[in-house]
Structure 1
Amino acid sequence: TELKSILGSEEKVLNIIKEEMIEIKNKYGDDRRTKIDNTAIDYIEDESLIPEEEVIVTITNKNYIKRIPKDTYKTQNRGGVGIKGITTNEEDFVEQLIPLNTHDFVLFFSNKGKVYRLKGYNIPEYSRTAKGLPLVNLLQIDKDEKINTIIKIEKENTYKCLLFGTKNGIVKKTDIEEYNNIRQSGKIAITLKEDDELVSVKKTTGDNEILMCTSNGRMARFNEDEIRTMGRTASGVKGINLSNDVCVGMELSEPGKSLLVVTEKGFGKKTDIEEYRKTKRGSKGVKTLNITEKNGKIIGFKSTTDDKDLMIITNNGIIIRMELESISKMGRVTQGVKLINIKEDNSVASISIIEKEELSEE
């Protein structure tokens, strides 16, 4: 009868619940031991839970970033028209491309001379045609700051220093360990003058030759030991003497490698590095390409071997991949051959060298 009376009265039920809750509170109640935090978790600490994958990371001119499986792009013959690598508009295009492992560190260098760092697996994966994620969502970069060089630091790093090359022909060498423990807000990688920009960064063992190339077809070749190791915030010294010209990049000369040059209108050539005489640091260099209205100015160059593949990216998002051995070696003062068919209103935006793979049937 009492139980029926309780079940028949909502007030009695609530009173009993209240009394029992107070009893539990008095017996077991203590302060909260957990903390509620709305801050997003940026990194996964246990790397053993993350699979190691070979991927390609791309960055667009508007600083959009993504990673995709390395085998997404298939090899094509020289002169091909490529495949669509990203859905873009007239204002944006893929500008940089680098193969890496998801467990590698990735260093991001900006035109302002700052450096940022992420793990490969922190870069989001997207489809081949997707634009990607705004880089500002991953790194604390300024609105007018642009990431123009990315390099990978592998788990088993054997390099001693980083070499920096700027638009005004300045070069600097710094111990690679000075770029550890970089936060999302970044650090100064090189101190630049107001009218200068960082255009290239390379890893070095300390005993290489340096190649600096200009858009008008001049190249300086000099020994790395002409540059002393400087601190992270140092400005550097003159690498190549410019005259109404800009430095488009910097490469390292290594035994058995040839020099690849690609122009804005899709022409290119390979030349043995031995054909370029050594110059002193700060010289005007020697002629490396016969520039004409047909082939255009130099957009990029690489020191490489024939067992690699070349990736060419245009400003309208087309990417073509070809075997470097399919490109003939030519003399130093020639205009090159057509590597990619480009429409009149388009141009080459950048180039990249990746590991050679077997041609896959689609």
Structure 2
Amino acid sequence: AAKKSLLSKKWKINKTNKLIKLISSEKSGSNYSLSENQVSAILELKLQKLTAFGINEIETEIKKLALMIKEYEKILKSKKELFKFIVDELTKIKDKFSVKRRTRITNAVLNYNIEETIQKEAVVVTITHKGYIKRGSLSSVKIQKRGGKGKAGIKTRDEDYVVQNLTTSSHAPILFFSTQGLVYKLKAWKIPQGTASSKGKTLFNLLPLKNHQSISSIMPLPENETEWKKLYVVFATSKGKIRKNSLEDFLNIQSTGKIAMKLDDDDKIIDVKICREDQDIILSTRLGKCIRFMSKRLRIFKGRSSKGIKGIELGNEDKVISLSVLDSTDINPKLAKKLLKNGSGNKDRRSEIIAKQKYILSITENGFGKRTSFYDYRVTNRGGKGIIGIDTSSRNGNVAASFPVNEGDEVILSTDKGKMIRCEVKGIRVAGRNTQGVRIFKISGDEKVVSAIKIEENFI
């Protein structure tokens, strides 16, 4: 009833009409009716508050608000007035809240090692036949059982395929040896990172390679350069030449590279390895031959421009495809084979033989392979024709890779179609030298295994 009465009542506005005109341009006449919202607001007020209202106070408030509205409209209509208002307000804030700077800004040289910001991790470096390179985390390559089909690796195009892989630390320096006998040095983390299927970046963007020059071998170096003094570098060429130099000869390599080895026109470096004097060297060929001789029997070359000496005598159409380094042993190979086979004899001697046991893993182009005890590879003089390391039958194809492994190691195989497989060494059968081995990588008819790398147990 109260609401209805207030809505229907006509209110005299003679005294307040002037005030209303200050804030409204509409003609209100002599009477004014309250809106429903206004009535609701009045009814929500307590009676005590209503009786406290006075006409003079309301009139004063309306005048004050009207003046403020006019002032704000004036400011909003003029850009000059608006900027002046903003400046005045900011000045007031500055005067009230500003404090003097408590720090000093000075010129300084940024002094930090960017390598310290790079995560230290195990990485796989991959190079293709066309000269593309990439770096990927080792954890991205999952383990499979031998005989699997593998997974897609680097994307290949225009008959490109993977030719070299290596595992190392992201902080390790890597030496790159070219087909023309030059060497370059680059930290692993400077190689562009790629996904499992990306093709990588061209080597010409990373190294000052000349026309018709490509990288034939890559070798990671120990991160600690103090270890280099007692180490040597062994070079092997496709024509069976070999040469040994002090690793310190390659300590300082300028950005433009330096000469590593002099080569005949039809020869090239196929591999380079670090070795010690107390180790043995094995050369393996594509037709399944191999030869083992002592590192200390190789003289140390003082220069870097010589062609080296004969490491193995090659047959027709044969060439060296692998250089391996393994620890020497004073154990008689025949005795070792007998004790391992029969399980009899001196227990201490047999335990020593087992503790020093290593295997030579041989992989063929058609995805077959085997492990053979390194006691089966007798030590001879360099320059001989060698012995059979694996049967290169029509089923197996030629040898793609051969290197020493331990029971706890893993291997990664790559094909010319860009597929990769990672498997455990202990899952590969142990067999004699002149045997064919078992299937390790199930590949298609027109596919070939082109490279294999070892992941050492203490690196995993």
Partner of 1:213: 284
Partner of 1:261: 362
Partner of 2:24: none
Decide which of 212, 215, 219 is 1:151's aligned counterpart: 219
Q: Supply the distance in 2 between the matched residues of 1:132 and 1:356 (Cα, whole angstroms).
A: 27
Partner of 2:188: 120
CA RMSD, 1 decimal: 2.0
What is the one-letter code of the residue matched to 1:54?
A: A
Deviation at 1:327, TM superposition (A): 0.3
Query: What are the residue-to-residue correspondences of 1:194-209 with 2, within 5 Å?
Result: 194-209=265-280
Q: Supply the distance in 1 between the matched residues of 2:136 and 2:320 (Cα, whole angstroms).
A: 31
What is the one-letter code of the residue matched to 2:174?
A: V
Q: Supply the distance in 1 between the matched residues of 2:117 and 2:129 (Cα, whole angstroms).
A: 33
Q: Supply the distance in 2 between the matched residues of 1:119 and 1:296 (Cα, whole angstroms).
A: 36
Partner of 1:185: 256
Deviation at 1:193, TM superposition (A): 1.3
Please tell me whether Structure 1 or Structure 2 has the larger radius of gyration of its CA atoms: 2
SS in 1 for 2:287: coil
Deviation at 1:349, TM superposition (A): 0.8
Q: Supply the distance in 1 between the matched residues of 2:253 and 2:427 (Cα, whole angstroms).
A: 41
Matched residue count = 318
Q: Supply the distance in 2 between the matched residues of 1:251 and 1:176 (Cα, whole angstroms).
A: 17
Q: Supply the distance in 2 between the matched residues of 1:303 and 1:77 (Cα, whole angstroms).
A: 20
Partner of 1:282: 383
Q: Supply the distance in 2 between the matched residues of 1:357 and 1:316 (Cα, whole angstroms).
A: 30
Deviation at 1:90, TM superposition (A): 4.7
Ranges in structure 1 where 5+ consecutive residues have no aligned partner: 1-6, 8-43
TM-score w.r.t. the length of structure 1 is: 0.84
Query: What are the residue-to-residue correspondences of 1:1-362 with 2, within 5 Å?
Result: 46-157=114-225, 158-159=227-228, 160-230=231-301, 231-244=303-316, 245-254=318-327, 255-356=356-457
Render the CA deviation track for 1:122-181: whole Å, top value 9, x for unaligned.
111122211111010000112322212111112225351100011011110001111122
Q: Is the CA contact 1:166–1:249 (under 8 Å) kept in the aligned structure 2?
A: no
Deviation at 1:343, TM superposition (A): 1.0
Shift in CA distance, 49/291, structure 1 to aligned 2, threshold 3 Å: closer
Render the CA deviation track for 1:227-252: whole Å, top value 9, x for unaligned.
11102222211000112111111101
Q: Which has the higher contact order (CA 8 A, sep 6+)?
A: 1
Q: Is the CA contact 1:90–1:316 (under 8 Å) kept in the aligned structure 2?
A: no
What is the one-letter code of the residue matched to 1:186?
A: G
SS in 2 for 1:274: helix
Q: Supply the distance in 2 between the matched residues of 1:316 and 1:106 (Cα, whole angstroms).
A: 26
The percentage of counterpart residues that share the same residue type is 36
Q: Is the CA contact 2:233–2:274 (under 8 Å) kept in the aligned structure 1?
A: yes
Q: Supply the distance in 1 between the matched residues of 2:138 and 2:169 (Cα, whole angstroms).
A: 10
TM-score w.r.t. the length of structure 2 is: 0.66
Deviation at 1:256, TM superposition (A): 2.7
Q: Is the CA contact 2:216–2:268 (under 8 Å) kept in the aligned structure 1?
A: no
SS in 1 for 2:189: helix
What is the one-letter code of the residue matched to 1:112?
A: Q
Shift in CA distance, 355/209, structure 1 to aligned 2, threshold 3 Å: closer
Deviation at 1:54, TM superposition (A): 2.3
Instruction: Name the stretch that deviates more: 347-356 or 170-179.
Output: 347-356
Shift in CA distance, 45/235, structure 1 to aligned 2, threshold 3 Å: farther
Q: Supply the distance in 2 between the matched residues of 1:234 and 1:176 (Cα, whole angstroms).
A: 16
Render the CA deviation track for 1:24-63: whole Å, top value 9, x for unaligned.
xxxxxxxxxxxxxxxxxxxx95433333232211111111
Q: Supply the distance in 2 between the matched residues of 1:130 and 1:162 (Cα, whole angstroms).
A: 32
Instruction: Name the stretch that deviates more: 141-150 or 172-181.
Output: 141-150
What is the one-letter code of the residue matched to 1:313?
A: S
List structure 1 segments (4+ residues) > 3 angstroms apart after TM superposition: 355-359
Q: Supply the distance in 2 between the matched residues of 1:90 and 1:325 (Cα, whole angstroms).
A: 36
Q: Is the CA contact 1:162–1:173 (under 8 Å) kept in the aligned structure 2?
A: yes
Partner of 1:39: none
Deviation at 1:358, TM superposition (A): 12
Higher strand share goes to which structure? 1
Deviation at 1:357, TM superposition (A): 9.3
Q: Supply the distance in 2 between the matched residues of 1:235 and 1:92 (Cα, whole angstroms).
A: 30
Shift in CA distance, 282/64, structure 1 to aligned 2, threshold 3 Å: same
SS in 1 for 2:362: strand
What is the one-letter code of the residue matched to 1:338?
A: R
Shift in CA distance, 225/294, structure 1 to aligned 2, threshold 3 Å: same
Deviation at 1:77, TM superposition (A): 0.4
